[in-house]
């Protein structure tokens, strides 16, 4: 069953509502999502064609238990082995996948689990992505933190002991311009050892600027690698341009970033194909930029504000676990991050198998860390959250829980060079 | 045997086991010191670059020599910067150079390593470069002022054992500095084998970190390294790997 995402707000003007409905119902009213908009840098890269070629020819129904058995028995993992491990035929082998993934994880990462926290500094957005709580037609409290507010939020987080931060914005170049984000990176360098960014995709030289401001990791979610599906979900704004988003990680590396992270939002489209494409995106980019550090995130669709009609394509915990195990077996070197959308129980289990990084002390709202961390409400308004989280553990609790699982929590493993 | 010391940069050590720190846990450090007898522990500067919570530096017992490493460096310049930072942090003059330009296999870049070794040796560091076992590169490292050479046995974290065995033997035979076998040792038997071949010391991490019983495995490594060392010394260097020489001449029966 397809997801139904369209939700109208009572707060939209008639003309806005008309435009929204036109975008939703008339594909001809939408721009060509494969065409670059003005100002978007186009790089020469053959990676997209390779990834999409594999995805489009992927028929997971043809894999059998025999293929899965062979893939599990191989010492390495070929692309075809990986395809077998992602297929429905691998579901009955979930325990074996987990055992193999655990062994590989321990060889490459030992018992360590890295901790970080995200910080949303603005939730303005110029895109209409039908599944997202921040989308421009959604009536939510919009907010952009000032320089002083960002610093205060960072102080609160740093005081909790956190050393790695991921700075996020909604995707509005107008409201959250490059200088604003650069300023946040410089502030973050004062309080944290490691600074990552999850913002709208930018050009190579702009990534270089942000790198010089102190950021060293860039995360961009492609959401879905299925071009046709992508077109029906991202109806308006720069995010609509599929190829510019796809090449964001490569531009970030060209701009001097140390590492990049990838993800599909599983459940938007066929999750097996999306998982295949995500991993191959990592695989081919690593071949081209062997020095770069690569990681994968594994979010599933979860409820968002003003949208209670979501009916996710079925990515249950068992399937999510299968995907994560397959990622690990195919990409032993890649970091794997598991979102706070998942339950504490799932995250405790998955760090023992394959995940190497989890967030703690998470808020996806704007400007509410003081309240959430210290219980102090300063009376200021907060920006609404992008999505609801499931695992609310703070840093101390997360540290304790991970230690109790026999793992070693790590707050920093990084130098800005 | 009491006089059999490992000498690196003028410093003497009784133990020939060095603990790597890539997959450290605080329990691992404890076991390595108590049960494996480690006197040298490597320390990733990037991980010591932490605030107050469980800084690895606070868990290294007194009397242990710190060997800060430059992991995270992608070229000589970055390695030099990390080494200088290590010195500022009070980690002493030892430094293990690790320069990787490949995040998949984490193989060392010998060319950049040679450059960094020269710069740091000139600054008075006791430089221990991690390298791919190539004879020319090893000679360049000697000329650049290295205090030891640390060739890999197999790709890091692979537990593949002595995949480069023949090349390690060449370095052991040809290079006058201590050859410390680093990376890839998965079992005590492999550590023993490398020591029999004439390696000066063994560095391991994953093999212990991922063992079922850490304490017992640490002690197994200590015994294996001692056994290999004894075998090497008892055979006057070449007996084990190159076949024994008979005390009576084999050609003694030839008379005219």
Residue A150's pLDDT is 94
Question: In chain A, which residues have their Cβ closer than 8 Å to the Cβ of B25?
Answer: 110-112, 408
Confidence band of B247 (pLDDT split at 50, 70, 90): low
Average per-residue pLDDT in chain A? 90
Percent of chain B predicted with pLDDT > 70: 88
Residue B141's pLDDT is 97
| pLDDT higher at B236 or A406 | A406
Candidate ranges A173-177, B43-47, B214-218; pick with highest mean pLDDT:
A173-177
State which residue of chain A sits closest to B43, comparing Cα positions: A413
Residue B53's pLDDT is 63
CB contact under 8 A, A106 and B104: no
Q: How far is CA A197 from CA A253, A417, B254, in A?
A: 13, 17, 82
Confidence band of B245 (pLDDT split at 50, 70, 90): low
CB contact under 8 A, A163 and B51: yes
Confidence band of A84 (pLDDT split at 50, 70, 90): very high
State which residue of chain B sits closest to A75, comparing Cα positions: B158
Residue A60's pLDDT is 95
CB atoms within 10 A of CB B174: 12
Confidence band of A312 (pLDDT split at 50, 70, 90): very low
| pLDDT higher at B165 or B207 | B165
Which of A2-6, A284-288, A400-404 has the weakest average pLDDT? A2-6
Determine, yes or no, domain membership for A416: no
Determine, yes or no, domain membership for A44: yes
Task: Check which CATH number belongs to the domain holding A282 and give it.
Answer: 3.20.20.70
3-state helix, strand, coil in chain A (%, to 5): 45, 15, 40
Confidence check on the interface: ipTM exceeds 0.85, yes or no: no
| pLDDT higher at A39 or A16 | A39
Residue B249 reports pLDDT greater than 80: no
| pLDDT higher at A58 or B32 | A58
The tally of domains found in chain A comes to 1
Positions of B marked catalytic:
96
Q: Touching check for B55 and chain A: CB below 8 Å? A: no
Determine, yes or no, domain membership for A223: yes
- Quote the CA–CA distance of A182 and A187 in Å, as a whole number: 9
Determine, yes or no, domain membership for A162: yes
Residue A310's pLDDT is 46
Determine, yes or no, domain membership for A190: yes
* Cβ(A285)–Cβ(A47) below 8 Å: yes
- Quote the CA–CA distance of A199 and A205 in Å, as a whole number: 15
Confidence band of A388 (pLDDT split at 50, 70, 90): confident
CB contact under 8 A, A333 and B49: no
Residue A303's pLDDT is 45
Residue B215's pLDDT is 84
Determine, yes or no, domain membership for A417: no
State which residue of chain B sits closest to A295, comparing Cα positions: B103
Determine, yes or no, domain membership for A3: no
Percent of chain A predicted with pLDDT > 90: 63
What residues make up the domain containing A188?
9-410
Alpha carbon A307 to its chain centroid, in Å, reads 20
Closest Cα of chain A to B170: distance in Å? Answer: 28
Q: Touching check for B160 and chain A: CB below 8 Å? A: no
* Cβ(B6)–Cβ(B200) below 8 Å: yes
B146 backbone dihedrals φ, ψ, rounded to 5°: -65, 150
Closest Cα of chain B to A326: distance in Å? Answer: 17
CB atoms within 10 A of CB A244: 24
Confidence band of B52 (pLDDT split at 50, 70, 90): low
Confidence band of A1 (pLDDT split at 50, 70, 90): very low
Q: Which of residues 11-30 of B touch A (CB under 8 A)?
A: 22-26
Residue B32 reports pLDDT greater than 50: yes
Return the number of CB contacts < 8 Å for A and B.
83
State which residue of chain A sits closest to B79, comparing Cα positions: A417
Closest Cα of chain B to A317: distance in Å? Answer: 27
Q: Which residue among A107, A291, A417 sits closest to B210, beta carbon to beta carbon?
A: A107
* Cβ(B97)–Cβ(B116) below 8 Å: yes
Residue B90's pLDDT is 78
Residue B240's pLDDT is 45
CB contact under 8 A, A411 and B53: yes
Determine, yes or no, domain membership for A260: yes
Which of A5-9, A188-192, A270-274, A299-303 has the weakest average pLDDT? A299-303
* Cβ(A355)–Cβ(A336) below 8 Å: yes
CB contact under 8 A, B49 and A415: yes
Residue B237 reports pLDDT greater than 60: no
Q: Touching check for B159 and chain A: CB below 8 Å? A: yes
Residue B239's pLDDT is 47
Residue A156 reports pLDDT greater than 70: yes
Q: Which of residues 317-356 of A touch B (CB under 8 A)?
A: 333
């Amino acid at each position: 069953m397809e997801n139904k995402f369209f939700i109208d707000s009572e707060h939209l003007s008639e003309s806005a509502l008309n435009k929204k409905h036109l975008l939703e119902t008339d594909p001809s009213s939408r721009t060509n999502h494969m065409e670059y908009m003005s100002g978007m840098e186009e790089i020469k890269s053959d990676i997209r064609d390779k990834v999409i070629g594999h995805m489009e020819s992927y028929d997971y129904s043809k894999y059998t238990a025999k293929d899965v058995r062979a893939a599990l028995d191989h010492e390495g993992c070929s692309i075809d082995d990986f395809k077998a491990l992602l297929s429905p035929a691998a579901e009955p082998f979930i325990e074996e996948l987990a055992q193999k993934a655990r062994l590989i994880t321990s060889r490459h990462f030992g018992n360590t689990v890295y901790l970080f926290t995200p910080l949303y500094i603005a939730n303005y957005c110029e895109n209409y992505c039908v599944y997202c709580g921040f989308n421009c037609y959604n009536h939510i409290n919009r907010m952009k933190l000032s320089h002083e507010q960002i610093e205060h939020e960072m102080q609160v987080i740093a005081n909790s002991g956190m050393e790695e931060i991921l700075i996020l914005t909604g995707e509005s170049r107008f409201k959250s311009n490059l200088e604003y984000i650069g300023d946040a990176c410089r502030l973050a360098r004062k309080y944290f050892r490691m600074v990552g960014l999850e913002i709208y995709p930018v050009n190579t030289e702009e990534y270089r600027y942000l790198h010089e401001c102190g950021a060293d990791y860039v995360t961009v979610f492609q959401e879905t690698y299925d071009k046709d599906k992508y077109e029906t979900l991202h109806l308006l704004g720069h995010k609509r341009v599929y190829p510019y988003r796809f090449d964001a990680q490569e531009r970030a590396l060209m701009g001097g970033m140390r590492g990049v992270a990838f993800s599909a939002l599983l459940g938007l489209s066929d999750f097996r194909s999306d998982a295949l494409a995500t991993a191959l995106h990592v695989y081919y980019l690593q071949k081209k930029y062997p020095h770069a550090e690569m990681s994968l995130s594994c979010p599933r669709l979860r409820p968002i504000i003003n949208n209670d009609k979501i009916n996710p394509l079925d990515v249950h915990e068992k399937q999510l676990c299968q995907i994560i195990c397959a990622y690990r077996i195919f990409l032993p070197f890649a970091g794997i991050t598991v979102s706070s959308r998942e339950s504490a129980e799932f995250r405790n289990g998955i760090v023992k198998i394959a995940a190497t990084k989890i967030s703690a002390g998470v808020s996806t709202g704007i400007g509410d860390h003081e309240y959430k961390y210290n219980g102090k409400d300063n009376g200021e308004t907060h920006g609404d959250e992008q999505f609801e989280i499931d695992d609310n553990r703070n840093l101390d609790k997360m540290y304790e829980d991970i230690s109790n699982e026999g793992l070693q929590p790590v707050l920093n493993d990084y130098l800005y060079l | 045997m009491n006089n059999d010391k490992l000498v690196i940069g003028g410093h003497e050590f009784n133990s020939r086991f060095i603990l790597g720190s890539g997959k450290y846990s605080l329990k691992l450090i404890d076991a390595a010191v108590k049960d494996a007898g480690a006197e040298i522990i490597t320390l990733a500067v990037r991980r010591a670059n932490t605030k107050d919570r469980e800084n690895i530096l606070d868990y290294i017992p007194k009397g242990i020599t710190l060997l800060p490493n430059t992991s995270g460096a992608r070229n000589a310049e970055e390695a030099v910067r990390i080494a200088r930072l290590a010195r500022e942090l009070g980690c002493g003059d030892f430094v293990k150079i690790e320069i990787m330009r490949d995040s998949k296999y984490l193989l060392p870049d010998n060319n950049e390593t040679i450059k960094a070794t020269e710069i740091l040796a000139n600054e008075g560091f006791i430089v221990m470069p991690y390298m791919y076992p190539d004879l020319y590169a090893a000679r360049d490292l000697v000329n650049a002022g290295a205090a030891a050479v640390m060739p890999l046995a197999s790709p890091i974290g692979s537990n593949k054992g002595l995949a480069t065995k023949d090349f390690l033997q060449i370095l052991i035979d040809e290079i006058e500095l201590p050859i410390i076998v680093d990376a890839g040792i998965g079992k005590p038997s492999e550590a023993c084998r490398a020591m029999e071949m004439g390696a000066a010391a063994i560095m391991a991490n994953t093999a212990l970190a991922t063992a079922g019983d850490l304490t017992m495995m640490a002690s197994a490594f200590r015994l294996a390294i001692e056994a290999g060392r004894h075998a090497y010394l008892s055979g006057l260097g070449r007996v084990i790997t190159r076949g024994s020489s008979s005390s009576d001449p084999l050609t003694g029966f030839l008379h005219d």
